[in-house]
Amino acid sequence: MLIMNKIKLKGGLEISRIVCGHWRLAEWNLITQELARLTEQTIELGVTTFDHADIYGNYSCERLFGNALQLNTRLRKQLQIVTKCGIKLATDKFPERKLKVYDYSYNHIVTSVENSLKNLNTDYIDLLLLHRPAPFFDPEEVARAFADLKKTGKVLHFGVSNFTSMQFSMLDAHVDEPLVTNQVEISPYCLEHFENRNMDFFLKEGIKPMAWSPLAGGSIFNPKDEKGHRVLQALKVVAKEKGTSPDAIAYAWLLNHPTRIIPITGTSKLDRMKTAVNALAVQLDLEHWYSIYNASTGQQLP
Start-to-end CA span in the chain (Å): 41
The CA distance from 180 to 7, in Å, is 12
CA–CA dist 164, 166 (Å, integer): 5
Amino acid at site 154: K
Sign of the Cα torsion 212, 64, 89, 13 reads negative
Helix orientation angle between 286-297 and 226-242, rounded to the nearest 10 degrees: 170
- The closest of 206, 288, 219 to 247, measured between CA atoms, is 219
Q: If you ran DSSP here, which 8-state letter would residue 76 be given?
A: G
Q: Which of 56, 104, 189, 251 is catalytic?
A: 56
Cα separation of 24 and 15, whole Å?
A: 21
Q: Is the dihedral of CA 75, 33, 131, 89 positive or negative?
A: negative
Task: Give the residue ranges of DSSP H helices in 94-197.
Answer: 106-120, 139-151, 165-172, 192-195
Nearest to 253 by CA among 234, 225, 240, 273: 234
CA 80 to chain centre: 12
Residue 56 annotated among the catalytic residues of the structure: yes
- Residues involved in catalysis: 56
